[in-house]
Amino acid sequence: MVTLADLQVTRLGECTVASPLASYVGGRATNQYYVGEDDRILFDDTVELVRARGLSLDEMPSFETGGPRADIFFDPATTRVGIVTCGGLCPGLNDVIRALVLELHEHYGVNDVTGFRNGYAGLVPELGLTPIQLTPEFVQTIHERGGTVLGTSRGAQDVEVIVDTLQRRRIDILFVIGGDGSMRGAHRIAQEALRRDAGIAVVGVPKTIDNDIPHIGQSFGFQTAYSRAAQSIKAAKIEAEAAINGVGLVKVMGRHAGFIACYSAIANHDADFVLIPEVPFSLDGENGLLAHVRRTIAAQGHAVIVVAEGAGQEHLPDADDHDASGNKRLADIGRLLRERIGDDFAARGEEALFRYFDPGYFIRSVPADPADSVYCARLAQTAVHAGMAGRTDLVVGRRRHRFVHVPIAYVTHRTHGVSPDGDLWLSVLESTSQPLDMV
């Protein structure tokens, strides 16, 4: 069970430098729209959850609030900053880079910002990846394109070498934009810097297109991802309706969490079935997927299936292989569904006509939509405030519409997924009218 101690953020020291943004927060107290600098945000959000802990208010688990401080730790005139993007692509990476640079330059007066290329590999000199100087002019229009201007890579690098590089370049704050594995790396970097008493703040802006990092609210890029996936579902619906025994099959990203599948299906109510890793299903039998697909096509002439890439892996052979980040390679659930549904119809002397959509890499590489761009900017601003205030070994996120600081160790201790008993999955069942279970 989470405790107040679990949510304490590490500080490099006392904040003794007057912040250029002091006037922004002067005289403000906690209200409906703003959380005061010394206030905290409760972990629990219902009266019953609070009561169940049986603790005094001062002992309740709570998060440090994000935002500007009246006093900061680093002197902007001498502060040097590094930025690195790690892992897979995601809409909004360039938006975050741009917002970090602009906030540092325009509001704090920090002009020395280095972009390390191709993930943590860019912090290993022997790999020969020359860093980039990030200026307001350089980043001015980068948000208009997808991907990341810094490049990215997967896999761990030697933490001692990374911290050596940071010290040699006299970097005071390192912003890490990446997913679960990247945040684990950021934690190790922060811990090594603390061990050396190097005075380096490490601040994470968590990036996961699958939305599977806990305690941060929604990940940036996620809204763009499910919006684009919803377009594929609409196309699959139109194609399936036009065919005899048409089956529209859309495979979306989601190794361990089915958030993209759920949200994209709810967005337009065009899916008949949503399959996600968190909810098991059978293929065979009267309550299996094949029988339900057959009945749906008999009733309306077509069926649309949305499947997350990590769903139904129990029906596939174990590949026993891993990528550079240590993620287990998944077998192709889309191919299996096409084969099994096609065989099921063929066994009855019929043909199912498939329209297969796999928009995964297209979704990853598009620019962020306006709503995600706003979120990227606000996360980046919160990250800059945290770094300048000497916070380290944390990620920034939004907990129930409040921006917060969360220790990296706490967000990486487990993954986040769709709860089969939660209101999101209930909404999926209501939107698709698929059976409550297919086991």
Residues annotated within the binding site for Mg(2+) are 180
Which residue matches tokens 């802006």?
Answer: 205
Name the burial class of residue 301, with classes exposed (0-12), middle (13-18) and buried (19+) by CB atoms within 10 angstroms of its CB.
middle
Residues that constitute the known binding site for substrate: 208-210, 253-255, 309, 361-364
CA distance 248 to 272: 10
Which residue matches tokens 């297109």?
Answer: 209
CB count, 10 Å around CB of 267? 17
Name the burial class of residue 126, with classes exposed (0-12), middle (13-18) and buried (19+) by CB atoms within 10 angstroms of its CB.
exposed
Which residue type does 4 have? L
- List 95, 112, 172, 210, catalytic entry: 210
The answer to whether residues 404 and 397 touch, using CB atoms and an 8 Å cutoff, is: yes
Give the bridge partners for 133, in sequence order: 114
Q: What are phi and psi of 77, to 5 degrees?
A: -65, -25
Concatenating the DSSP letter of every residue in 51-91 gives HHHT--GGGS-EEEEPS--SEESS-TTT-EEEEEE-SS--T
CA distance 142 to 427: 37
Q: Which residues lie closer than 8 Å to 237 by C-beta, 6 or more apart?
A: 248, 270, 271, 302, 304
Confirm whether 272 is a catalytic residue: no
Q: What are phi and psi of 34, to 5 degrees?
A: -140, 140
> In terms of Cα–Cα distance, which of 414, 255, 418, 245 is closest to 331?
255
The answer to whether residues 128 and 61 touch, using CB atoms and an 8 Å cutoff, is: no
Sign of CA dihedral 68, 69, 70, 75: negative
CA distance 41 to 35: 8
Which residue matches tokens 């698709």?
Answer: 432
Residues that constitute the known binding site: 88, 154-155, 179-182, 208-210, 253-255, 309, 361-364
The answer to whether residues 323 and 154 touch, using CB atoms and an 8 Å cutoff, is: yes
> In terms of Cα–Cα distance, which of 311, 230, 227 is closest to 265?
230
> In terms of Cα–Cα distance, which of 432, 90, 422 is closest to 275?
432
**Which residues are catalytic, by number?**
210
